[in-house]
Amino acid sequence: MTLNRFLKEKRPGISKLAESADCTEKETEDGTKPAGTAEEREAKTPARQEKMHVKPAPFRSLIKSMTFSNSRLDCFEQCPFKFKLKYIDKIKPEIGKGIEAYMGTVVHATLEKLYKDMLYQKLNSLEDLITYYKEQWESNWDDNIVIVKEEYTPENYRKMGEEYIRTYYERFKPFDQDKTLGLEVRIDVNIGPNGEYTVMGYIDRLSQPEEGVYEIHDYKTSIKPKTQDELEADRQLALYALAIRQKYPDAKKVRQVWHFLAQDKHMVVEKGVDDLKKLEEETVRLIKKIEEESEFPHKGSALCGWCEYRDRCPDFKHEHKLSKMEPNEFLNEPGVKLVDRYAELMAEKKKAEDELKARFDTELEKIKQAMMKLAEKEGLRVIMGSENRATLWSKECYRFPGRKDPGREDLEKIIRQAGLWDEVSSLDTFSLSKLLDNPPPDWPTPIVEAIRAMATKERLERVYLSDKK
Ligand code: SF4
């Protein structure tokens, strides 16, 4: 795909930019066409790479030898910086894990015991199971466990897990819906054209309700269940399904079963071979992206509160350092002093600017009205001063909703539907720059690099102040 075509298809608003780009195919001296597109060949030259800001992938060989798991892939998607600390630098976190994860581990261990004992023809009573759960909770408790939602106590979480087990037990007893084939079953699935990548994982429970049918059970202890669409798109259990199909040739059907214990909701997805193939390709693309990563930028999200690397994260390490200080030590900390002074000056500046602006605006408006009156009375468009001339202009104009105002979406829809978008829109270079930092997966690399090559890199420095809460 050429840059012209790409820009037209992906961003109609930037098509004018594409028209000036030279993307023509050139031939070699002997008249034969060199391999690859012009952009691809050009992108490979070292000088060009430097200009395009292409960085070598320093961890490629290390990552190539890595066995992936869905958690690792999720981790990279959530935050590449966290992925690097955890799986490349292998840094042991000083911050403990969240209590939600702890509760999940104890609930999983309890359900594992339930089904494991059944393999030995022992059916635990509900009370036996709850006793086991409580013992596990107590004996594995660690004071480093973090409670992000400070309004809840460890006891609240312990009771939640207990309730999940009760509800599950009551719903499925006497647990004869299927035959358990294994618990915490390790799977290794080979993916890629030559099976060159291995993804491993553990299935909470693998069962067989009937000949040729396999079920992959996954227990979820989160408060929020997923929608059917989200489960259809889920990578983890689909990879496990792929592994089961590779391992058991008699598998006619492989079902992915999620047990959302908090809601007593049990949801099933059954993927066909084509869907699994698509998922495999997407996963290979993601692994290749990880191999090529050179910067591992940090990426904040709602999950940062639970991140065990906040003490190393550029967004949180200062806050973490301050959380360990006494109040007077805190106020003398150099960073705190700088930000406090900066905020103070900004507030003073804003106040002074507002006052000055209000004074000038009132005065200017008064004079403007007087000039308009004079112009109307004497039929003038230009009024002369001693050094300046004032040209008066007035016109009724349309005012449209801004980008965030209500009605903006409808306005854009009407313009797009009328096919007028290209005529009234212009290139949003800020959005383009943001997209280039993390190009969407369907943007071909040569095109991304060609756009990058048209830009110069400069460091902008801004300080944004906001309230702490
Ligand atoms: S806290 Fe920092 S390192 Fe952790 S996930 Fe958030 S951005 Fe990434």
pLDDT single digits (tens) 409-440: 999 999 998 888 888 888 888 888 888 887 88
Q: Mean pLDDT check: name the lowest of 141-155, 194-208, 360-374, 418-432.
A: 418-432
Model pLDDT, residue 180: 97
Main-chain dihedrals φ then ψ at residue 181, nearest 5 degrees:
-95, -25
Q: What confidence tens digit (pLDDT) does each residue in 130-161 have?
A: 999 999 999 999 998 999 999 999 999 999 99
Comparing 114 with 423, the larger pLDDT belongs to: 114
Q: How many CB atoms lie within 10 A of CB 273?
A: 10
Structure confidence at residue 348 as a pLDDT band (50, 70, 90) = very high
Which residue's alpha carbon is at the smallest distance from atom 4 of ligand 1? 307
Model pLDDT, residue 469: 64
Q: Ligand 1: does its nearest atom lie under 6 Å from the Cβ of 160?
A: no
Q: Mean pLDDT check: name the lowest of 84-88, 270-274, 442-446.
A: 442-446
Residue 32 has pLDDT above 60, yes or no: no
Model pLDDT, residue 23: 31
Share of the chain above pLDDT 70, in %: 87
Gap between the Cα atoms of 325 and 331, Å rounded: 9
Distance 249 CA to ligand 1 centre (A): 42
Atom of ligand 1 nearest to the CA of 310: 1
Mean pLDDT, range 37-62, rounded to an integer: 53
CB 280 within 8 A of CB 267: no
Gap between the Cα atoms of 60 and 47, Å rounded: 21
Model pLDDT, residue 95: 84
Gap between the Cα atoms of 137 and 139, Å rounded: 6
Q: Ligand 1: does its nearest atom lie under 6 Å from the Cβ of 214?
A: no
Model pLDDT, residue 419: 87
Sign of the torsion angle spanned by Cα atoms 452, 455, 457, 463: negative
Residue 395 has pLDDT above 80, yes or no: yes
Model pLDDT, residue 439: 84
Gap between the Cα atoms of 463 and 339, Å rounded: 10
Structure confidence at residue 328 as a pLDDT band (50, 70, 90) = confident
Q: What confidence tens digit (pLDDT) does each residue in 247-295 have?
A: 999 999 999 999 999 999 999 999 999 999 999 999 999 999 999 999 9
Strands 68-69 and 197-210: parallel
Mean pLDDT over each residue of the chain, to the nearest integer? 86
Distance 301 CA to ligand 1 centre (A): 8
Model pLDDT, residue 244: 95
Q: Ligand 1: does its nearest atom lie under 6 Å from the Cβ of 240?
A: no
Share of the chain above pLDDT 90, in %: 64
Mean pLDDT, range 332-360, rounded to an integer: 96
Model pLDDT, residue 378: 96
Q: Ligand 1: does its nearest atom lie under 6 Å from the Cβ of 86?
A: no
Structure confidence at residue 397 as a pLDDT band (50, 70, 90) = confident
Q: Ligand 1: does its nearest atom lie under 6 Å from the Cβ of 81?
A: yes
Comparing 380 with 468, the larger pLDDT belongs to: 380
Residue 50 has pLDDT above 50, yes or no: no
Q: Which of 79, 87, 301 to mutate to test the pocket of ligand 1 (most atoms within 8 A of CB)?
A: 79
Which residue's alpha carbon is at the smallest distance from atom 7 of ligand 1? 300
Model pLDDT, residue 24: 32
Which residue's alpha carbon is at the smallest distance from atom 6 of ligand 1? 304
Model pLDDT, residue 205: 98
Main-chain dihedrals φ then ψ at residue 77, nearest 5 degrees:
-65, -35
Model pLDDT, residue 29: 36
Residue 107 has pLDDT above 90, yes or no: yes
Q: Ligand 1: does its nearest atom lie under 6 Å from the Cβ of 83?
A: no
Q: What confidence tens digit (pLDDT) does each residue in 224-249 have?
A: 999 999 999 999 999 999 999 999 99
Atom of ligand 1 nearest to the CA of 78: 5
Quote the strand ranges of 293-333, DSSP E: none
How far from each other are the two terminal CA atoms of the chain, in whole angstroms?
47
Model pLDDT, residue 160: 98
Number of residues in the chain: 469
Which residue's alpha carbon is at the smallest distance from atom 2 of ligand 1? 313
Gap between the Cα atoms of 25 and 32, Å rounded: 11
Structure confidence at residue 15 as a pLDDT band (50, 70, 90) = very low
Structure confidence at residue 458 as a pLDDT band (50, 70, 90) = confident
Q: What is the DSSP letter of 402?
A: -
Atom of ligand 1 nearest to the CA of 79: 8
Residue 37 has pLDDT above 80, yes or no: no
Residue 316 has pLDDT above 90, yes or no: yes
Structure confidence at residue 36 as a pLDDT band (50, 70, 90) = very low
Main-chain dihedrals φ then ψ at residue 197, nearest 5 degrees:
-110, 140
CA 53 to chain centre: 23
Mean pLDDT, range 327-353, rounded to an integer: 93
Strands 213-220 and 253-260: parallel
Structure confidence at residue 372 as a pLDDT band (50, 70, 90) = very high
Model pLDDT, residue 55: 54
